[in-house]
Amino acid sequence: MEKNKEKKQMLFYPDFLFREAVAAVIVVAAILAVTLIWPMKVGDPADPSDTSFKPRPEWYFMAPFYLLKIVPSSLEIIPTVILPPLLFAALIALPFVDRDTERSPKKRPLAMALMAAMVLLTAAFTLLGILS
């Protein structure tokens, strides 16, 4: 005996779009509730008379910060202006470097080695920037 399974079809507009809008409102309300319950602490207000303050970037800027420390000032345009777009371009180009259809990381040594090298260099420069 064959069972006829009817697939319930849903129109994109207004049914699906309404469900997505309700989900988005729920997520925004949850984020708003969390921020109202646990507000972020900013810290002490700035004191312009304090000369002992040494500004430090956030953790995600520590790698370029360390690069600025090790590169001579005459070449500071390289780690600040030239290198970031090159790194982003390399990340975008990485899937096209090894066009093999194999999905296993073990069978894609070139792409995995390039990605590992980029991650390790970024982590090392970030750690060195934090420690400096």
DSSP string, 1-13: ----PPPPP--II
Whether residue 30 lies inside any domain: the answer is: yes
- Quick check: 56 and 69 in contact, CB under 8 A? no
61-76 average pLDDT score: 89
Same domain (yes/no): 76, 103: yes
Pair 82, 127 in one domain: yes
Q: Is 46 inside any structural domain?
A: no
Contact 132, 66 (CB under 8 A): yes
- Residue 89: its pLDDT value, please? 92
CA–CA separation, 75 and 46 (whole Å)? 32
78 in a domain, yes or no?
Answer: yes
Give yes or no for residue 98 having a pLDDT over 80: no
Number of domains within the chain: 2
User: Do 63 and 127 belong to one domain?
Assistant: yes
- Tell me if 68 sits within 8 A of 76, measured CB to CB: yes
Q: Can you give the pLDDT at residue 72?
A: 92
Q: What is the pTM of this model?
A: 0.57
- pLDDT-based confidence at 9, cuts 50/70/90? confident
CA distance 31 to 117: 36
Give the domain range for residue 19.
Answer: 10-41
